[in-house]
Amino acid sequence: MTGPLDRASAFGRWLVQDRDHADALLAAAAARRGDAGPVRDAVHEVAAVADALAGDGDLDPRVGRALLAATTDLAARDRWRAGAPERT
């Protein structure tokens, strides 16, 4: 991870707007994993995908929630790694 998420991006704006839901998912995944680093890194990687799905508008909240839930779950189960089909 190189730094914080860009709050001006579509994904960043969605995270701020849906902060309670996002924080709960992130905290649960970090607790399951025992380390917040891999979860945070996975979310940073998927942010670019989310921004691409938003185009030049806002990210659909259902898409944001689905991407965040899937990504944090995979990271918590150590299935978000290079070469893993789930990550691709």
Q: What is the pLDDT of residues 8-57, one digit of tens each?
A: 899 999 999 999 999 999 999 999 988 888 899 999 999 999 999 998 88
Distance separating alpha carbons of residues 33 and 38, to the nearest angstrom: 8
What would the DSSP string read from start to end of 47-68? HHHHHHHHTTSPPPHHHHHHHH
**87: helix, strand or coil:** coil
Residues 6 or more apart whose CB falls under 8 angstroms from that of 79 comprise: 86, 87
The model's confidence at residue 81, banded by pLDDT at 50, 70 and 90, is confident
Q: Helix and strand tally (H, E) in the chain?
A: 4, 0
Distance separating alpha carbons of residues 78 and 84, to the nearest angstrom: 10
pLDDT (0 to 100) of residue 87? 78
pTM for the whole thing? Answer: 0.86
